[in-house]
Amino acid sequence: MKLFRIKPEYFQKFSAAMVAYSLFVILWGAFVRISNSGDGCGKSWPLCHNSIIPSTKHLPTWIEYGHRLTSGIYGILILFLVITAFASFPKKHFVRKIAVASGVLTITEALLGARLVLAGLVGANASIERAVTMSIHLINSLFLVAVLVLLYDWSKERIYKVKFSEFKAKTISFSAVITFLVIGTSGTIAALSTTLFPAESLLSGVLADFSKSSHFLVRVRITHPLSATFLGVVLITLTYLAYIKSKDECLKFRTTVLMGLIPAGIGIGYSTLFLLSPLFLKLLHLSWAYFIWTGLILCISRAIQLNFQVIPQDCGVE
The C-alpha atoms of residue 172 and residue 161 are separated, in whole angstroms, by 22
Q: Which long-range contacts (CB under 8 A, 24 or more apart) does 273-276 make?
A: 273/202, 273/225, 274/202, 276/198, 276/199, 276/201, 276/202, 276/205
For 226, other C-beta atoms within 10 Å of its C-beta total 10
Radius of gyration, alpha carbons of the chain: 21
Kindly report whether the peptide bond that precedes residue 198 is cis, defined as omega within 30 degrees of 0: no
In the chain, the amino acid numbered 172 is I
- Give SS3 for 284: helix
**Does the annotation count 166 as an active-site position?**
no
C-alpha closest to that of 26 among 130, 144, 107: 144
The C-alpha atoms of residue 164 and residue 180 are separated, in whole angstroms, by 20
Q: How close are the terminal C-alpha atoms of the chain, in Å?
A: 26
List the beta strands (DSSP E) in 132-278.
none
In the chain, the amino acid numbered 41 is C
Q: With contact defined as beta carbons under 8 Å apart, do 4 and 83 qualify?
A: yes
Q: Which of 64, 109, 200, 249 is catalytic?
A: 64
DSSP state of 51: B
316 CB contacts (<8 Å, ≥6 apart)? none
Strand partners, 48: 51
The C-alpha atoms of residue 106 and residue 100 are separated, in whole angstroms, by 10
Catalytic center residues:
64
